[in-house]
Structure 1
Amino acid sequence: MDLKEIQNLIKFVSNSGVAEVKLETGDVKITIRTTLEGNTPDITYVQQAPMQHALAAPVAAAPVAAASAAPAAPAAPAADDNSKYVTIKSPMIGTFYRKPSPDKAPFVEVGSTIGKGDVLCVVEAMKLFNEIEAEVSGKIVKILVDDMSPVEFDQPLFLVDPS
């Protein structure tokens, strides 16, 4: 399926009033979802690699992994430095926001003292804004994600010093 066919499909779906269309052709899967506001399409493309390539990749990667094992050792002490901190992670996939709205101040900054249950940020998922609350009391040591960045499930967002 080429780009022109995909563009025509998007136009057709947005004009038809259908909420969602899934199309599977060979190794290409396309899902087009339209929203009620303005009928703008939300498109997800997934292309699966043939099995032959997937099996060959681990064999080729093994020598590279062995060569990179030596440089990884100096990075271990840095991880130990962060072991005294509590990591607050994203409970969902979405977009990370440090502020309740664009014209307001951020919920927390580095150095802010927080209590259990304080709102640290908002993660927007499917037009729903979910407040992420502190699991522990302490002081924000590091903010690990930029404002308005996409985040994954279980991705670290903040480091908190509980002492």
Structure 2
Amino acid sequence: MDFKQIQELVKMVNKSNISELSIEQDKFKITIKQKDNEPPVYTVPAVAPVYQPAPQAAPAAPAPQAAPAAEAKPAEAKADNLVTIKSPMIGTFYRSPGPDKPSFVNVGDEVAPGKVVCIIEAMKLFNEIESEVSGKIVKVLVDDASPVEYDQPLFLVEP
């Protein structure tokens, strides 16, 4: 009996009032049971953990608004000219090719298009992520060996 025939049997049992069906052919035996009034149970294959930022506690006292707003404006103006290198896939982010090896790039390093900046492991495959821009690494946004999502910012580069 092939898989398609088994699928057809399951469909027929589901549509009928039959609670159990057993079939034996030579060395092959199959039993299909239908449970009453219970929702179907589905199994989902294991996947890589999804990054969920921890909830942040509310500040105890309200902060004065004038000082942070004044400080934020120069930072925003400076951040406007930065380019973000984003993750092209879901996986685990690694800054170096191995635990005892130096990082591909550090803050202050110059990058050019085609230079490897990190590795993302997805399903036991190690994918080298290359820079698409020229400039200087200003900030590394992800910790080593952390899970990353598709399109998650990894590095900030000053062109």
Q: What range describes the TM-score normalised by the shorter chain of this pair?
A: 0.5 to 0.7
Q: Counterpart in 2 of 1:31? A: 44
Q: Does 1:123 align with 2:123?
A: no
Q: CA deviation at 1:103?
A: 1.3
Q: Counterpart in 1 of 2:107? A: 110
Q: 1:151 aligns with which of 133, 140, 148?
A: 148
Computing the radius of gyration from Cα coordinates, the structure with the larger value is 2
Q: 1:94 aligns with which of 91, 94, 105?
A: 91
Gaps of at least 5 residues in structure 2 are 1-37, 49-64
Task: Answer 1 or 2: higher relative contact order, Cα 8 Å, separation at least 6.
Answer: 2
Q: Which has a greater percent of strand?
A: 1
Q: Which amino acid aligns with 2:44?
A: T
Mapped to 1, the partners of 2:41 and 2:103 lie a distance apart of: 41
Mapped to 1, the partners of 2:82 and 2:40 lie a distance apart of: 44
Q: Counterpart in 2 of 1:16? A: none
After TM superposition, where is structure 1 displaced by more than 2 Å over at least 4 residues in a row?
A: 25-30, 73-81
Q: Counterpart in 2 of 1:140? A: 137
Gaps of at least 5 residues in structure 1 are 1-24, 33-41, 45-70
**Inter-CA distance 28–151: structure 2 relative to 1 (3 Å threshold):** farther
Q: CA deviation at 1:28?
A: 7.5
Q: Which has a greater percent of helix?
A: 1
RMSD: 2.9
Query: Aligned to 2:113, what secondary structure does the other structure show?
Result: coil
